[in-house]
Chain A
Amino acid sequence: GNSVTQMEGPVTLSEEAFLTINCTYTATGYPSLFWYVQYPGEGLQLLLKATKADDKGSNKGFEATYRKETTSFHLEKGSVQVSDSAVYFCALGQGAQKLVFGQGTRLTINP
């Protein structure tokens, strides 16, 4: 079945550091890939998405590129802020079927 693996957390960085959170997937067919963010005490918010190979999703300075050859969808941001502290989930979906989530990566940004 489909699965998503994220890098282990937690991740702690200083403000303005470069961020990478790794995500790899296993799937049959051609899934869509997503990053969701969960701020403390809140629900899941869609951060960005990509629906086919080589697509780049971007939002709020975050980017991720759908790499079919390496089955990856790594999340990056060039300069993180304290307000980016949250839990980040990589997810995979096909059509209207269920989303399959990675285990989540807790990110803490220190001033």
Chain B
Amino acid sequence: EPEVTQTPSHQVTQMGQEVILRCVPISNHLYFYWYRQILGQKVEFLVSFYNNEISEKSEIFDDQFSVERPDGSNFTLKIRSTKLEDSAMYFCASSEPNRGYATQYFGPGTRLTVL
């Protein structure tokens, strides 16, 4: 069964460094998403992406964040200058909306630790 994959599974970085989190969505999906989950808290939406542009973003997704689909398979989240509060689990998801509703399928996540 097709699944969303993410790399790396765990990333440790120093505050102020740039990180790139990578995702490979399910191949025939058209919509892509990033969410994050700070330890012990709820899952929060960051950004959605369709047709090579951002379709929606949250207040969390400020100028430090960017997304890109550099080729036909990868979808990346870049954090330009990491802060301590960026430490979280980051989930990528993808969906192929059908008949007005969509089911989002999630990857296993990347745990980001900012020191």
Contacts and interface: CB of A to CB of B under 8 A. Distances in A.
B105 interface: yes
Interface stretch (A45-53, A68-76, A78-86): A45-53
20 contacts: A34-B103, A43-B108, A43-B109, A44-B106, A46-B105, A46-B106, A49-B103, A51-B101, A89-B43, A91-B43, A94-B101, A96-B50, A96-B55, A96-B95, A98-B58, A99-B43, A99-B93, A101-B43, A102-B42, A103-B41
Interface of B: 31, 33, 35, 41-45, 48, 50, 55-56, 58, 91, 93, 95, 97, 100-109
Contacts, number: 63
Nearest to A34: B103
A91 B102 CA distance: 12
Interface of A: 32, 34, 36, 42-46, 49, 51, 89, 91, 93-104
Max count, chain B CB within 10 A of own CB: residue among A45, A95, A99, A100: A99
